[in-house]
Amino acid sequence: MKQNKPKKKRHPFWSFFWLTFLVVSLWFAWYSFYVPSNAITWTNNFESAQKLAIKADKNIMIFFTADWCSPCRIMKREVFADNEVKKAMDSKIVSLEIDIDIINNQELVKQYNIGATPTTIFINPQGDVIDYAVGKVEKSKFLEMLERQKGLSEK
């Protein structure tokens, strides 16, 4: 006859540990990939952005991104979804979002020597670089970069 061995009871610490691990993992996945919609007027074509910039006498901000880029998504959530940033962007610049994985954008990626995402570049309508930042930019630094654009377009 088979003897049933008594089941060894787990210590409660391990149940707590694995539950906490699961919750933190799910939170991090949400934090990395959730992007709320924003009302920023994005352009995805360089030539049309240049025409808009010349017509409106504004500089262009190019945001180089990719679908797989977690810091890009975090920046979209923490910076571009903010109402203060949205108002400043729409009033001071023409916003251009470029996905580096799209083949049609490779010429622009090479032109501005983009090696990492996110990369934020401010250019004049002729395409000359005025200011740039590689990596995720915090809201306060981004607003400072936007504020510098005001003086450049008024000259």
91 vs 119: CA distance, rounded Å? 21
* Catalytic-role residue among 49, 72, 79, 123: 72
Q: Where are the beta strands (DSSP E) in the chain?
A: 42-43, 59-65, 93-99, 119-123, 129-134
Burial class (CB in 10 A: 0-12, 13-18, 19+), 10: exposed
Whether 60 is catalytic is: no
Confirm if 90 and 62 have CB atoms less than 8 A apart: no
Q: Is the dihedral of CA 79, 80, 83, 88 positive or negative?
A: positive
* Catalytic-role residue among 69, 96, 114, 146: 69
Q: Is beta strand 93-99 parallel, antiparallel or unpaired with respect to 59-65?
A: parallel
Whether 72 is catalytic is: yes
Q: Residue 32: which residues within 8 A CB-CB, separation 6 or more?
A: 70, 73, 74
User: Would you name the residues annotated as active-site residues?
Assistant: 69, 72
